[in-house]
Structure 1
Amino acid sequence: MKRVLRLPSLLRLTLVFLIALVFQNCSEQKIKETTDETMNITEYLRANPDYSMFLELLDLTNYASFMNTYGTYTVFIPTNDAVQEYLNSIGATSLSQVPLADLQNIAKLHILDQRINTTSFTDGKIGTPSLYGQYLVTGAANKNGVSSVTVNKEASIVASNIELGNGVMHIIDKVLRVADKTLAQTIEADPNLTLFTEVLKTTGWYDVLNKPLTNTTDIDSYLTVLAQTNEVFAEAGFTTLEQLKNRYSHLNNPLDLKDSLNLFVSYRILPRLQYLADIAITPSLVTKAPLEVISAKLSKDTILLNEDVFNGVLEKGVAIDRTISDVTASNGVLHFVGGNIAIKKRLPAPVYFEFTDITEFRRLTAFWKKPAAAYEKLTVDNAGIDVTWDGKASDGSAYLAYNKQADGSSITSGVGGCWGADVCEIYRFRDANAQNVAFKTPVIIKGRYKIWISYRANGTKVGNVKVFFNGIELPRQVNLSEGGNTDTANTPETVLESQGYKRYATPWSSRVNCRLVGVVDVPTTGRHTLTLQSQGSFTNQSWFDIAEFRPVEMNQLLPKFVAGKSTLQY
């Protein structure tokens, strides 16, 4: 030590500096690990005591930590008053007294695994289901002269679009309740549906509507009911079950599926989970009555059922009461109709199926049928509802795409010569990538039809395509490299038709063509499967426009499709 003290002062100062530097390097450094200081959902709730009770619910169910992780969630947060009101309604004084399973279901019902702002809300269901599996329904309501957005027809949004690090929050004034009653129980609990309940029990359909779901993730396993209130029955002249039996039960056995009263009920039950938002875009609704459908169309803000024009005569339809419909049950959804709907005899009618009019493309709301040009691919993950294909290539070497030309473009180039100026594009339509592409058609009424396939020709690297209807191969193939150069020969259209071709669009473009692929007997009214199968290794794009199903006795040349638009020319 003495030797150190004898060192010159400058050297001693240098030594002290070096020792301090070593200690500094050994000390823990505080490093900022994130560049985003926006609070996550759980952090926000902990910082706001107005929502402490719902935070407690999340803590009890272990969803608090879940909502503090990375994600893109939408959460509906009830206020403390709303949670207290819920506790009062079930006779509990604290959340700890509520069964854990009930709290978990409530938590899941309030969370959606996608960021959704109120600007995306419509008068109907939110497109993404809750984590519980049930859909939430939004709408507009006026309470005490104040308009607000409602959720599930009861809760009002009091604050919205609170952007957080892992999602968006909306504050509501009521706790959302899980729909735990079946359709049968929901109907029976409504005092305005007593006669409808009696009819359900008499025909045996009550038991069907009372069955719990075995797979809550399968939309096809749900049911949809179009109910008639006592008032609607009374307007049609029915106030008792006996009156309905006398009018409809022609076999005097309502339990018989062929009995007219049984058909009266089954005609009001639809397969699948179909909210008003789904019905509004579905022109024909398949029912549980064999081979019978209900037509649907949207007139302004009203959904009309069975309003059709036959032989030039308008048949007035029945409206769905939107204000009280969209009632979620544990096994389906309930709607209310404003009139007594009757089964109609349906004759075969033409169906013009655009290959672009499928769920997978309709989801592209920013592009589908918009005026501007668009090109959007379907990935492996977002196909499988209305279109499927084999050999999906995860590397993107094969895909389907929505290909649209801007409205008003020249019809002689691009896809403007096609109906609606859009086509379904299949890239690398070939074995091991996408040889078989199967589409679900719209509802086709039972009957005999000619099937025409319209497409835009491609000059090279494409070839023949086989067409299958419900798995049965049709006799003629489509040659995708064959254009519609028939105008130059001035061939009469009737001659072309006899050869299995026609000029389906007007004005006509040589870039498009239409091929008759066969005649089919459609055995049942409903949706069917149309499959396209490539017969070679196509390395270029294939473009498909329309599949026409025209009754055999119908004019096969008219109406024509207006090129570049979505209208018909008669």
Structure 2
Amino acid sequence: MTKPTTARVPVLLRFTLGVLLTAFLLNGCRKDDDYFEPPAGQEGKLLEQLKANPEFSTYVRALELAKLEQTVGSSGLYTIFAPTNQAFDAYFSQGPYRSLEQIPPRQLYELVGNHILTPMMFTFDFSARRFNNNKDDRYQTNALKYAKVIRSGAQFTINGVEVSPDRRDIAAANGAIHGIPAVLVPRPAIDSVVQLENDLRIFNRVLRRFAFREVDQRRSQDLDNDGVIDTIYVKRSRLALNPGAEDPEITALAPTDQAFEDLLAQYPQFRLVGTDSLDMPDNVLKPIIEYHLLTGARTAAGLTGDLVTAGRETLPAAAIPVAEPNISVSNGALHKVSKVLIPPSLGTVGGQILLNKDKDLTQFIAALEKAALLRELLSADKKYTVFAPTNQAFTDAGINVAALTGAQLEPILKTHVLTSEVKSTGLVDGKLYPTLLGPGVKVAGASLLDPTNQPAPITAVDFAGSNGVYHKLGRVMTPPAVKVLATFIDLPQFSELKAALTKAGLLAALDAAGPFTIFAPNNQAFQDFYAQRGVAGLSALSSAELKDLLQYHVVGERLFSTDLTNAQEKGTLLTGKKLRFNVAGGAVTIADLNAVSPDAAVVGADGQGTNGVVHTISKVLQP
């Protein structure tokens, strides 16, 4: 195979571009609000400047031992908060190490890197926040820890350590140095602390379950001194990251192992595998874990009022059972809690389906997720009734959820959702209930009739959620496959209506999105109409006359027979003209504006299509 060719930039041009880029970056940094040019004697790299100042000799030695001297001594633009020798003496006096050589290599690497920021920043740059898009004054160090740098007025601190006034803004060709009187010891991140806590084994496993790997090139060094650059893979929790310009810190409310065991006792459909692995689907576990993560670093005293979690749900602080507060971490706050907190979303009807103890709705759940309908059922803003087909119902119907697209599943699923809460005691026999799709389902004893009039047995009822209820079905209901006009227009008893609609030019209009309710006169109704008018047939009527006549038979909404009430009036597609319904003893008649002829009787009700419903009537209605 021929290798693809790449355009080659001439060496001189690449060199020129490199020089210009370096000059731009250097000139783009400011010192005391002036563009920086290293003064005479300060053109050397950071390592040279540090070596030139005997106060930083211990830190220079630390750079050498950590294999970082080449990094700060050659290319790149860095800011170093360099501890003085006295700072290291104080650090060693506090233990556990008495010299740099006693510190394990990886730990020393993090210790030294915790004092290095990118890019070059002088005092003014911190004041102007030129390189910080976060909500507050946090910067990431070379050790991947967050440093809080405050520059306001005369104050200039990093992690609470005052930058020595006489050691600020030491310039170098590839960076800036600020001397500090203390060593900045990197604290472990939340993930690292959780991993070491014996009673957070399950929480640790959960964080690892939602983890990913990323390559951080700033930490790629020759750590083992074998002449090969080592690439360090840093494993972090995806849930612990808050990308963009948001607060980079989080507060983790970590349930103890006992808290998870209590949760499993409450929901026996889930279980513990081994000592720390949860047999719980992601669509249940992820919202639970996100409910335990807050943006920003909050001490226990700061857990007040209503808090917004990583999952954008509200958590009342009063509901948080803190067992061990304020565990020291570098990237926020960590508190152990004695109970697993259940988010409000799992209290909804959608959440209750996810928590179904019989575990017989997994196919329905998978379909809801694929069709992007689960989120709607997890919202507490509206009320729903869900008729959930069991796994066996999907098998009996021959529906392979994995083989269908979300668009294919959507009409099927919406046929199983009502836009109101109806418990089993509220299901009225013979009543049609409109679904989220539009077409209705009809109660027939202990079953539902779907829009195609096929029965689906109701097998279990009244699983309540905060925004509705769900019932189980033993069959998957079928939505209508065609629009309402196609369900009847080619039947022989409607041949006159078809001819009339064709002559009036209304077939295309009624084949639109709708919704429509069509009151369809049968052929006998048309014959009676011709006799009353004293005409032989359609040929005696103009297209315009027919259009007005037929528009008077269509209402621009979906009306099931059980929606009609006595003395009810509805406007039609014929502007300004209404129909009046009379309901008595279950019979429905329609009064038109012709007082001479009798009212029209509904002789066939509730034929359903995707865009509406049709009722057969015994008379041509006259406006």
- Same topology, TM > 0.5: no
Q: Which has the higher helix share?
A: 2
Q: Calculate the TM-score normalised by the size of structure 2.
A: 0.33
Q: Calculate the TM-score normalised by the size of structure 1.
A: 0.35
Larger RCO, structure (CA 8 Å, separation 6 or more): 1
Report the structure number with the largest CA radius of gyration. Answer: 2
